[in-house]
Amino acid sequence: MIKRFLAFVFVWFIFSATQAQDCSITFKGKITDFHDNTPIIGASVHILDLNKYTSSNEDGLFEFKNLCAQKFVVEIKHISCDPKRININLEKNTYKEIFLEHHLNELNEVVVRTTSKTTITSVEQNLKKEVIENFTDKSLGDALNTMSGVSSLNTGNSIVKPMIHGLHSSRLLIVNNNVRMFDQEWGDEHAPNIDINASEKIAVIKGANTLKYGSDAVGGLILIQPKKYAVKDSLFGSTITSFNTNGFGGNINSEIVKTYKSGFYSKLQANYKQFGDFRAPDYYLTNSGLKNLNASLRMGYNTYEKGFNAYYSFVNNQFAILQSSHIGNVNDLVNAINNLQPRVTEDFSYDITFPKQEIYHHLGKIEAYKRIKDLGKLSVQYDVQLNRRKEFDLRRGNRSNTPVIDLRLFTNTLQTNLEVEYLDNLKIDTGVLIRYQQNDAISGTGTNPLIPDFTKYDAGLFTIANYYLNESTDFSAGFRYDFSKIDARKRYNVTDWNETFNYDELFPEFETGTINGTRILTNPKYTFHNLSASLGLSKRFNNDVSLLVNYGLASRVPNPSELFSDGLHHSAARIETGLLTLDKEIANKFIVSLERVNRNFGFSISPYYKHINGFIQLIPVGITTTIRGAFPVWEYNQINAQIFGIDIDVNKQITEKFNYLGSLSLLQGDNLTEDIALIHMPSTNFTNTISYQNKNLNQLTIAFNQKTVLQQNRFPDYNFNTFNAILQEDVFVDISTTPPTYTVFNLRSSAVFKMNKKSNLKIEFNVANVFNVAYRENLNRLRYFADELGRNFNLKLKYNY
């Protein structure tokens, strides 16, 4: 009797529990195009947690029946759309309207702007793979120089540093495969050690949405991103070769990718580039060649719930420095400025002689992620970098092959990141970071190290919230705190320490002892606390028009070069002197962007303003005499500054086959402390491009481009007089007056030929500086010594297999 009663109670309990679980709920909805509200037919709708599928009908409608009350994630996919995931808390019959960004792949491929942004309120421009391949034999700076608001600081034609709104080096964050680059980027003639051929997309973020990567992006962020591979069994690759008449060199890049339906993938890529002496319109640029060898390996496992990826890259760059730029004294500089041709013009050669640079850069990282139910995605990453920089001068005797600067920088970073995706309208991205750096000034150079030995410790944490108010309005807000500590070991001349800079009274705690009565050994130590923040708003109107507003507070600590530089920077041919009293920069950044993404007629208008307290600049202050001769002296100092301007981009489809692209960049930089112009600011420039495309004729594309750079008429006057021992009189040294306006034209053409079912051959023929114009660029550090490059014919072959 008792057993029957217990059995009855058990069955009743099970029945009651079953009745309590309501599994008769219906979830249905409609999928439409955000731009014109038309229904999207055949979209895949997948409830990931339940592994249930359906698709939208001719009215964009879908339906799931007999679901239980629970929480789950729905993924919506459709061709020509970015996939979208939403969280559903199903408690009763539910109807949901879902909007997809349709027609993204129908936009003009030449237009570098895109609606697929890194952050929802970012003011951003992108270079996709097709555009990157146009610069397979060029540098990162050359590729980015095609964007409005982005220019470059050059040393000759091979060493190219990107500039965003007039700022470069330590004020730009360059993130390669989610690793922030550290490669002695402080130097004007130190180009990023990155092979752009290994990337799938390059994003330039001009606004304030950079807190995830650092607090010191006063200029902006350059984000170099890899490709995400489909989860399927496949094997594919490509090889690109490039041949150039100017420099009689070229490039070969090859990559192969293997993916598996299990989620595993791997990619191997290698690149070799070599050029001999380049040529200006009227003469060869003696000792201007280069040789680069780059390779990368990427592998990982990718599923929705978990995965990992590992990445390693090696870059070996050798750059010749124009021989005529090697001056022995200021009188050589005067002669160079006054002469129309370089001091040394020899026949073509592939030799890379002195002066030159050799750089090795190793980068390795491993990252793993895991999705936590009802929370989000947690990822952990460790990365390490080793950068070795050698700069060689013209030296005699047994030191002829010994570098005058030999620096080794070791960086390793551990960071975690949590993306909270639980709420429908609110996404939170938060993380912490710790970093250790060690710089070694390698002994045996026979010179005093320009940058001393130092160690640097960093720790940071950030939180960014993105709130989706509705389908047309988004907000973002972020906060970041960083701690930095610098511990250096440096020798100073006693006279400089005690008298020139008065450091014996300002920093007595740094003194550790004297050496032979003329040199003093010091141990400078600094700690910094940085607070940064950002606010953003994105508002979309009339289907394809949007307004973005960004504010950012950025803080940047002085880098070791700005604090400790002390000596002759040989590849720059100048004495550089740091300043121990420098404090951190604090920048308030504002940018607004009105955009219309439309193939027929699109535009972007982006005014911006930056006010920077404690702006650190390097300026010429006179000359000094060393055993090598008389050299200009450049010193770091600190001022208040402002930079403001506007970037404008326009695209117009003239006919079915003809398109127009145009851009205009205006910028002004002011030294508010001294009421003069800022040094090294880009001048007004504009571009116009007419292109012809015929998809039915082997995807034929022909584009003619014009770029005009106006003379920079706002510059500070840092000219000076020096005594010429040969003439026995003072001579005037004009290092400030800028070159005149110039215009260059470029031609680009390509066609694609089908080889078989799975492969094709793309052939490009391009001409740079079509009319062989002789000109000089204000932002080229070697403009005193030679013209820019003359005409170049380029043939490029890409074989996809």
Domain boundary at 199, 222, 245, which? 222
Q: Does residue 270 share a domain with residue 137? A: no
Cα–Cα nearest to 639, from 681, 696, 582: 582
405 occurs within a structural domain: yes
Q: How confident is the model at residue 112 (pLDDT cuts 50, 70, 90)?
A: very low
Question: Whole-angstrom Cα distance, residue 56 to residue 39?
Answer: 9
| CATH (domain of 172) | 2.170.130.10
771 occurs within a structural domain: yes
Which residues have CB under 8 Å from 71's CB, separation 6+?
Answer: 87, 88, 89, 90, 374
Q: Does residue 428 share a domain with residue 333? A: yes
pLDDT in the model for residue 116: 46
Strand arrangement of the beta sheet that strand 25-33 belongs to = 61-67, 25-33, 94-100
CB 48 within 8 A of CB 73: yes
Question: Whole-angstrom Cα distance, residue 48 to residue 242?
Answer: 45
291 occurs within a structural domain: yes
Give pLDDT tens digits for 370-427.
988 778 899 999 999 999 999 998 877 778 789 989 999 999 999 999 999 877 788 9
pLDDT in the model for residue 103: 42
Question: Whole-angstrom Cα distance, residue 610 to residue 550?
Answer: 12
Average pLDDT in the chain: 88
**Mean pLDDT value across residues 151-170:** 91
pLDDT in the model for residue 374: 79
pLDDT at 109 over 50: no
Q: Does residue 280 share a domain with residue 215? A: no
Q: How confident is the model at residue 206 (pLDDT cuts 50, 70, 90)?
A: confident
Tell me which residue range forms the domain holding 460: 223-800
CB 72 within 8 A of CB 96: no
Distances (CA, A) of 119 to 173, 294, 463, 589, 607: 16, 31, 13, 17, 19
Which residues have CB under 8 Å from 410's CB, separation 6+?
Answer: 384, 385, 386, 387, 437, 438, 439, 440
Q: Does residue 277 share a domain with residue 195? A: no
Residue 334 or 44, more confident: 44
Distances (CA, A) of 57 to 29, 42, 63, 84: 11, 6, 10, 18
111 occurs within a structural domain: no
Q: Does residue 237 share a domain with residue 174? A: no
Pick from 85-89, 163-167, 511-515 the range whose average pLDDT is largest: 163-167
350 in helix, strand or coil?
coil
Question: Whole-angstrom Cα distance, residue 524 to residue 67?
Answer: 67
**Mean pLDDT value across residues 621-636:** 75
Cis bond leading into 524, ω under 30°? Answer: no
CB 350 within 8 A of CB 382: no
116 occurs within a structural domain: no
pLDDT in the model for residue 162: 93
pLDDT in the model for residue 167: 93
pLDDT at 627 over 70: no
The pair of three-digit structure tokens given for residue 713, joined into one six-digit string: 């008429």
Domain boundary at 196, 222, 248, which? 222
Pick from 93-107, 145-159, 578-592, 625-639 the range whose average pLDDT is largest: 578-592
777 occurs within a structural domain: yes
Question: Whole-angstrom Cα distance, residue 268 to residue 95?
Answer: 46
Q: How confident is the model at residue 111 (pLDDT cuts 50, 70, 90)?
A: very low
Give pLDDT tens digits for 436-470.
999 999 988 888 888 999 999 999 999 999 998 88
Strands 545-556 and 585-596: antiparallel
Q: How confident is the model at residue 726 (pLDDT cuts 50, 70, 90)?
A: low
Question: Residue 705 CB: number of other CB atoms within 10 A?
Answer: 18
High-pLDDT (> 90) share of the chain, %: 61
CB 325 within 8 A of CB 333: no
pLDDT in the model for residue 640: 97
108 occurs within a structural domain: no
Q: Does residue 253 share a domain with residue 182? A: no
Question: Whole-angstrom Cα distance, residue 128 to residue 198?
Answer: 12
Domain boundary at 102, 135, 167, which? 102
Can you state the percent helix, strand and coil of the chain, rounding each to 5? 10, 55, 35
| CATH (domain of 471) | 2.40.170.20
Question: Residue 654 CB: number of other CB atoms within 10 A?
Answer: 12
**pTM summary value:** 0.85
114 occurs within a structural domain: no
| CATH (domain of 44) | 2.60.40.10
CB 318 within 8 A of CB 351: no
Q: How confident is the model at residue 114 (pLDDT cuts 50, 70, 90)?
A: very low
Q: How many domains does the chain have?
A: 3
High-pLDDT (> 70) share of the chain, %: 92
User: What's the count of helices (H) and strands (E) in the chain, helices before strands?
Assistant: 7, 43
Q: Does residue 355 share a domain with residue 306? A: yes
Q: What is the 3-state secondary structure (H, E, C) of 622-658?
A: EEEEECCEEEEEEEEEEEEEEEEEEEEEEEEECCCCE
Question: How does DSSP assign 100-120, residue by residue?
Answer: E-TTGGGS-TT----S--SST
Q: Does residue 757 share a domain with residue 725? A: yes
Q: Does residue 495 share a domain with residue 357? A: yes
Q: Does residue 291 share a domain with residue 208? A: no
Q: Does residue 443 share a domain with residue 347? A: yes
Radius of gyration of the chain (CA): 29
Question: Whole-angstrom Cα distance, residue 162 to residue 157?
Answer: 13
Q: Does residue 227 share a domain with residue 162? A: no
CB-side neighbour CA atoms (13 Å) of 152: 24
Question: Whole-angstrom Cα distance, residue 59 to residue 324?
Answer: 71
The pair of three-digit structure tokens given for residue 310, joined into one six-digit string: 């590992």
